[in-house]
Amino acid sequence: MPRRYYITTFGCQMNKADSERMAGVLEAMGLEPVAEPDQADVLLYNTCTIRDNAEQKLYSYLGRQAKRKHQNPNLTLVVAGCVAQQEGEQLLRRVPEVDLVMGPQYANRLGELLEQVWSGSQVVATEPLHIVEDITKPRRDSTVTAWVNVIYGCNERCTYCVVPGVRGQEQSRTPAAIRAEIEELAAQGYREVTLLGQNIDAYGRDLPGITPEGRRQHTFTDLLYYIHDVAGIERIRFATSHPRYFTERLIRACAELPKVCKHFHIPFQSGNNDILKAMGRGYTRERYLHIIDTIRRYMPDAAISADAIVGFPAETEAQFADTLDLVATVGFDQLNTAAYSPRPNTPAATWPDQVPEAVKEDRLQRLNHLVATVAADRSQRYLGRTEVVLVEGVNPKDPTQVYGRTDGNRLTYLQGEIEALRGQLVRVQITEARAFSLSGEPLEPLPRTPAPLAATGH
């Protein structure tokens, strides 16, 4: 009987993409997925260390599975991702039943690491590693949309963030390798790709070449032009952007390229300049607002989402009010919010004037209330309009409905059969507009662009 595996994924889109790659490795080794963790012979936790609660949840899960391992010594426990990179051997000392600890950069080397484990070794793989072009085939969780990593790591030094320490230095994939992966996805029937990077605007900074105009030969803007004409791919999204590097040239490209979705995820983190400086973000409130104004000058209906942190060390009530004001001024379609959480090996974690938890929780609730109010108001512009929705799956709460997303990334529900509509671009007349989702009546699917028969290796 073949070994069976189960992967639990915490955190961001980068982690979800890494989990797909690791699932692909496991299935290439002959392992089969199972529906429940207690059915698995190989149990892998792909971890996130951005927030302390995700880290504590991991240790809770590990405690339960450690007991199970005493009853089943053949169970293989793997901790991958950012907590693994951060903790290294410390994790083994805390939970000695774990067999393999591996950082994010080792995702495509999972197979060889497991072979070492099954040969009798307990393995820690967290040393810095140059990421060679990944030839593994991810096991995609969707048959319609797919993640495509374009740059790994991060060179920023935000004072609250552990990412540079756990994901390493920036490493850009070559444009040819990225295009080849997208062409293969198109040949498999995928309709949409999301280009991923911890700081995607930094793409190409580490690649050689200067243009005659004196700029870098490879930028994220150039990459969008290079991949845009892949036949069969109807939509291109990207995340996450950094305001420090978000240029008017990139905005203009997004306006010019019809496949690039008019949705921008640009974290601002705080609306106060002193807090932004303490965070090490490298831009001001005024610079952020200029970016938003420029986007709306080129694309008036563009959807804007972001991330924000409340309760950063020494944040005053007046400084928090600047964040509330920025949210109201911009009018975000969606905002991911979090109370500041001190993370290991980050400068801000050791600073005095940490904001009390009760104050952070109060500010978070007030911000979330405003976010919901603003998002609901933004949603009203969709009422009565016809939107094009890419159908992805079945509404888990109503099997007579399917769901998909608009160009602006609004989750939208409509009546229909998934067998007929999955992967279709459908015109939908919007009849209900909630804060973070829409409902509508389907009109008709759009003609489907034929996909290439096989990847061309452009």
Using CA atoms, how far residue 231 sits from 61, 179, 448, 455, in Å, is 43, 11, 11, 10
C-alpha 132/C-alpha 108 separation (Å) is 9
Amino acid at 68: R
Q: Judge residue 424's burial from the number of C-beta atoms within 10 Å of its C-beta, 0-12 exposed, 13-18 middle, 19 or more buried.
A: buried
254 is in an annotated binding site: no
Angle at which helices 220-227 and 248-256 cross, to 10°: 10
Per DSSP, the residues of 78-102 read EEEEHHHHHHTHHHHHH-TT--EEE
Query: Radius of gyration (Cα) for the chain, nearest Å?
Result: 23
**What is the strand order of the sheet 192-197 is part of?**
171-172, 145-152, 192-197, 235-239
Q: Distance between CA atoms of 310 and 340, rounded to whole angstroms?
A: 6
Please list, residue by residue across 165-182, b when 16 or more beta carbons sit within 10 angstroms of its beta carbon and e when fewer do: bbbbebbbbebeebbbbb
158 among the known binding-site residues?
Answer: yes
Paired strand residues for 77: 43
Say how far apart CA 87 and CA 79 lie, in whole Å: 10
154 labelled binding-site residue: yes
SS3 call for 445: strand
Annotated binding residues for [4Fe-4S] cluster? 12, 48, 82, 154, 158, 161
Annotated binding residues? 12, 48, 82, 154, 158, 161
